[in-house]
Structure 1
Amino acid sequence: MTLSTESQNHDYEIWYQNGERLASLGQYSEALASYEQMLAVQPDNSDTWIKRGGMLTHLNRYSEALASFEQALTIQPNDPTALLFRGLALHQLGRYKQAYVSYNEALGIQRQSIFSKLMQVLKEWVYFPKGLNVKF
């Protein structure tokens, strides 16, 4: 590994930790900037494109988020997380049939894992009254 490569990997790790910290604090614009710095170092990292899309989703920038999830899928075509979040972005854009297809693709790849992840996301996004008995 060359000094330049080591430096890039170190920078990537710093941007990753910074992005995760900022996202956990709800500072989505700042976290987005960190993830974009990560992409400057490693543009072919599908996980970073997913993280970027997640921050854009939090910022209600659904078209841009969709583009990030699509980019992740060009790098790793069957990534169930990218498929799931692409479905969520499509749903927010009112493209329900396409969202349904994306959800089904994700479920077909990792049925239990994706179902659990989908339910976790839905629990965070949707308020269920205490008296309502919802089972997942």
Structure 2
Amino acid sequence: MKQSLIADHATKNRIGRIGILVSTALVCMAIAGCQSTNTALTTVDRAQGTSENISSLTQVIQSNPRDPEGYNVRGSAYGRAGRYKEAIRDFDQAIALNPNFYQAYANRALVYRYMGDSNRAVQDYSRAIQINPQYDTAYIGRGNVYRLAGRHDQALNDFNQAIALQTTDGRAYHNRGLIYQLRGQHQQAIEDFSKAISLNSTAPEPYNGRGLSYVALNDWDNAFDDFNTAITLNQNIAESWANQALVYEHRGEKAKAANSYARAVQLDPNYKPAKDGLARTRG
């Protein structure tokens, strides 16, 4: 059983200070600031990080302590539980038992990224790719580290490589779409977000991403549909409500906009676009 640790982070979609009469230029400026890192593109099974599951995996390891897969799987569970030092320890042991265990390198890389150690994350993803040049997960993971560091050309190269390998992982298209969006290439971004949706229709993030590119193209109706779908899929993402509010605000429906901004603030009191929008529309 070969496991990846956690479906990689995607992004928060951020909106700037936009009035009721929104120009395309202002929207593009808002979208240029929409890159962030705090929501997952693919749902994580938190049950796999429970103490009960970790205890069961420990029993498996105790019965076969020379099997690197046991350490890899338990390391994944530790990672899901946020117990990063223990996760690193298990991945270290898995790699010590099997130096060519490329999945363990990629899993350890993701934990390093969560710990803020981008250099080690890149090193481990690169080692996984060196061992298995066909491993699309490592290209996607390394590409996201590059993207978050602002190294967009390198990120784009990695996402392109994963796509050339015919990946079925929607993160490759979603993250490439974010780069296109940042560069103002909104039609290409929409195509990539749409592909990501076709691969994982239950993830709200590509709907938010595509919706913002529709806004940049002044296609408010399609944007509204996407933001509403994102909310239907997960009602606990502040960005989705703030994005919906932006459309209401554009339409002059200030009361509805204020309600949606208020919901976003309730979910994330520190989310500035929602706080600013609520201040604009509350009166």
Q: Which has the higher helix share?
A: 1
Q: Quote the residue 2:178 is aligned against.
A: 88
Gaps of at least 5 residues in structure 1 are 1-5
Bigger shift: residues 52-61 or 17-26? 17-26
Verify: 1:40 aligned to 2:130, yes or no. Answer: yes
Paired residues for 1:1-136 under 5 Å: 6-9=98-101, 12-113=102-203, 115-116=204-205, 127-130=272-275, 132=277
TM-score, scaled relative to structure 1:
0.73
Aligned CA distance change for structure 1 residues 98 and 109 (closer, same or farther; 3 Å): same
8 Å contact from structure 1 (residues 78, 109) kept in 2: yes
1:42 is displaced (CA, Å) by: 1.1
8 Å contact from structure 1 (residues 19, 32) kept in 2: yes
Aligned CA distance change for structure 1 residues 88 and 130 (closer, same or farther; 3 Å): same
Identity in percent: 20
1:77 is displaced (CA, Å) by: 4.4
Q: Quote the residue 1:3 is aligned against.
A: none
1:99 is displaced (CA, Å) by: 0.8
Residue identity opposite 1:94 in structure 2: G
Cα distance in 2 for partners of 1:127, 1:74 equals 38
8 Å contact from structure 2 (residues 140, 158) kept in 1: yes
Cα distance in 1 for partners of 2:112, 2:131 equals 19
8 Å contact from structure 2 (residues 156, 179) kept in 1: yes
Q: How many residues align?
A: 122
SS in 2 for 1:111: coil
Cα distance in 1 for partners of 2:138, 2:207 equals 19
**Deviation per residue, 1:36-86 (Å, 9 max, x gap):** 111111110111110010100111011111111111111124432211111
TM-score, scaled relative to structure 2:
0.38
Aligned CA distance change for structure 1 residues 118 and 16 (closer, same or farther; 3 Å): farther
Aligned CA distance change for structure 1 residues 111 and 18 (closer, same or farther; 3 Å): closer
Aligned CA distance change for structure 1 residues 47 and 101 (closer, same or farther; 3 Å): same
